[in-house]
Amino acid sequence: MLDDSVIFLDFEAASLQGWPVEIGLSWLAEGKVRTWASLIRPRPDWSDDLWDPAAEKIHGICRAMLDEAPSADQIAAEVLSRISDRILVSDAPEFDARWLEWLTGERIEVELFGVFAFKTVSSRGLPPLFDRLARLKVPHRAGPDSARLAKAWHHGLRASGTGLD
């Protein structure tokens, strides 16, 4: 499997039922984890009624920060160009696929990280993968969270002896 054929995806959102406020994409290139992330300025029809202060406490992104972010349309175009023909993987695909559709208007399949790991990493590499995943901090920011998944997967591949270095 080519290292850039897989993209790890994460979103932060206004609430569990709300709209996306930040996206992170991470992949492997030349044996290293690369990440692209951006805040998302909401579209005018995205209701502030869906903003949850509890979500803001988790990710630390206040509503005012989004006023200077790139527009949702700009981010959607950028995301669609980056994910074209790639496998998308998330640790919460039921949420991330919904936020991806909210952003892009397209229904795109997102695989569950654990299932993807079992399909792509040898049994020898799985314990190191999940150990690394457990030890990497979850900062609740989309870029570092997507990078966390990519780093764990890369570690598992390397422990398998198949490792994209």
Full set of structural domains in the chain with CATH? 3-160 (3.30.420.10)
CA 92, 114, 7, 62 torsion-angle sign: positive
CA angle at 19 for the pair 22 and 145, rounded to the nearest 5°:
30
Q: Is residue 153 pLDDT above 60, yes or no?
A: yes
The Cα–Cα gap between 104 and 96 comes to: 12
pLDDT of residue 164: 53
Q: How confident is the model over 104-125, as pLDDT tens digits?
A: 999 999 999 999 999 999 999 9
Q: What is the CA radius of gyration of the chain?
A: 16
Predicted TM-score (pTM) of this structure: 0.94
Q: 46-91: per-residue pLDDT in tens?
A: 999 999 999 999 999 999 999 999 999 999 999 999 999 999 999 9
DSSP, res 2: -
pLDDT tens digits, one per residue of 127-152: 999 999 999 999 999 999 999 999 99
- Residue 11: helix, strand or coil by DSSP? strand
Name beta bridge partners: 111: 89
What's the mean pLDDT when you consider all of the chain? Answer: 94
CA atoms within 13 A on the CB side of 44: 0
Backbone angles phi, psi at 81, to 5 degrees: -70, -35
2 φ/ψ sector (left φ>0, alpha ψ -120 to 50, else beta): beta
CB 37 within 8 A of CB 23: yes
